[in-house]
Amino acid sequence: MNATTTTFPSTLKLKIDLTDEQFFQMCQKNRDYQFERTASGEILIMSPTGSDTGRRNVKITTQLDIWNSESNLGEVFDSSSGFTLPNGAERSPDASWVKIERWNA
């Protein structure tokens, strides 16, 4: 049996027209993948981070959470949280903080 190997770029872009609900359902049904969507509707399939990046990300998130615990001004989220940006893109930052007034809106 002959095996072929295909190398994909670190981020794969697909142009698929999906409603917000369809995008959400695709993410729910494919939890082993990390999807993001650009403002133009391109679906990005993100590769997992390496151990060095993961270690740095947890330190950033921890520091953000400690700061927030002291100030109690908002909510902290990890890299699995997706946000819809003003331009319509849906992204999952490495760490994020949302002001309490925006979170409760």
Taking only the tens of pLDDT, the chain with its 105 residues reads 555 555 555 566 777 888 989 999 999 998 888 889 999 888 888 888 889 989 999 999 999 999 999 999 999 999 889 999 999 999 999 999 999 998 876
CA distance 21 to 19: 5
Residue 84's closest CA among 44, 37, 18? 37
Beta strands 11-15 and 74-77, pairing class: unpaired
pLDDT at site 90: 94
pLDDT at site 74: 95
Global pTM reads: 0.70
Fold of 11-103: tt1808, chain A (3.90.1570)
Burial of 70 (0-12, 13-18, 19+ CB in 10 A): exposed
pLDDT at site 10: 58
pLDDT at site 5: 55
pLDDT at site 6: 52
Cβ-contact 36, 90 below 8 angstroms: yes
pLDDT at site 14: 72
7, two tokens: 């190398």
pLDDT at site 31: 86
